[in-house]
Structure 1
């Protein structure tokens, strides 16, 4: 299983790039960036390619509704060229509270929207002419970016319909708040079955997890609850947490001593995750201990 850092809480671009350098120095495999309301993840990925020349860079995830497939394909291929073809594009429809409440767009039929979005995006990334006329979007274009190969595309998928779409049309999925049991029993069987039925190769299953090597695991979880607690009430996450018997996202944090966190990481590998994206939480000392552990596990 590949191991990378999920860069989602750094306060600015400088700090985000420092996280990438730390991942590279620890000889991890990747660094992925969130797309919220702090920075543009694709721009930061392009910048990161200049300061960390060897690791995979990606997004987890860019919201689809605010970006037309032509615009996103153009930007993603530009990042791919700028990073020497080390970029992975993670996308997702996000949540109604974000798309309607903040962007002011209609969160209309997200599963169909995602299928139609991928139907336009994937051939655009391959440099093929597209004339897609669907129920939720229309696309007519052909894009050429010299020096860029088609980047892998991951879809944020938790439910059965989205997992089927990801398996049929994309290169894999990226999850958040999902436990190893959920990946083994729910995510992996569905996406692998869909990929096989579509004649596609085995999909990547990229699992995101907060982790902290600490002497105070409950204190760390309390901090995550205070910071990210509202995410627990988003419908897609609430459904997932209820399935896992959890009250909130803070319960998904891997926290404890080195042996405890290492055991949690091994559980993701055993469940079938191909990649683990670790969001380091806690204070500076705890984050340093966590990074050291990740490096040891990856190169043991």
Structure 2
């Protein structure tokens, strides 16, 4: 990140670390501005690095309670200590607009079971008090999804990376249309 950030800003960088050395300049002609760097981070050390050196973090399989009590405060404190602006927090979650939430959660639990076994995601699910991905997915009718989206906003989430799932015909388009209309509101 110490090498990447200056390069993306069109500046020269010189870095001599334990693993590699870099002396480089990188310029993109007609680039309007430096793109934000968002680092996938869940644990305290990575969140600290992301807060100090990047514009934010992106999570996956992390529920609203864990975002509010762990992710957002940890990265925000690191950014503040480094004199950086409040970071972006992108929450990645499965989303399904449905009138059959129990069936949808069961299918998500089955299809995404691997995430409940990987140590970093398992730790986030445990913090949430969830037994697996089906428990933290955003699933339900419009009113339920609105409440869940609001709980993410209340937790400090700035962006949603919606993994829209189609568990029955037409569901993907309906979910996407709902999310698009909610984002415009």
Q: TM-score, normalised by structure 1?
A: 0.58
Structure 1 residues without counterparts, runs of 5 or longer: 1-117
Contact 2:40/2:59 (<8 A) preserved? yes
Q: 3-state SS of the aligned residue for 2:112?
A: helix
- Equivalent residue for 1:181? 65
Match of 2:157, SS state, is coil
The answer for the alignment partner of 1:287 in structure 2 is 172
**Higher relative contact order, structure no. (Cα contacts within 8 Å, ≥ 6 residues apart):** 2
Match of 1:129 in 2: 12
In structure 2, the residue matched to 1:157 is 41
Kept in 2, the 8 Å contact 1:204–1:273? The answer is yes
What secondary structure sits across from 1:264 in the alignment? Answer: helix
Preserved CA contact (<8 Å) 2:61 2:115: no
Q: Is 1:211 aligned to 2:95, yes or no?
A: yes
Match for residue 167 of structure 1? 51
Alpha carbons 2:63, 2:125 under 8 Å: kept: no
CA displacement 1:148-171 (0-9 Å, x = unmatched) = 231100011111111111111000
| Correspondence for 2:2 among 111, 115, 119 | 119
Alpha-carbon distance between aligned partners in 1 of 2:21 and 2:116, rounded to the nearest angstrom: 34
Distance 1:153 1:231 in 2: 24
Equivalent residue, structure 2, for 1:246? 130
List per-residue Cα deviations over 1:84-143 (Å, max 9, x = no partner): xxxxxxxxxxxxxxxxxxxxxxxxxxxxxxxxxx11111111122222121233322111
Q: Alignment partner of 2:3: what SS?
A: helix
How far 1:265 moved relative to its partner? 0.6
Structure 2 CA distance for aligned equivalents of residues 220 and 161 of structure 1? 34
Distance 2:155 2:89 in 1: 10
In structure 2, relative to structure 1, the CA distance for the partners of 1:225 and 1:136 (3 Å cut) is farther
Which residue in 1 is equivalent to 2:104? 220
Change (3 A) 1:284 1:138: farther
Aligned residue-pair number: 183
| Aligned with 2:114 (options 215, 230, 233) | 230
- Structure 2: unaligned runs, 5 residues or longer: none
Contact preservation (8 Å) 1:205, 1:272: yes
Are residue 271 (structure 1) and residue 132 (structure 2) matched?
no
Task: Report if aligned partners of 1:220, 1:281 keep a CA contact under 8 Å in 2.
Answer: no
- In the TM superposition, structure 1's runs of 4+ consecutive aligned residues that sit over 6 Å from their partners are none
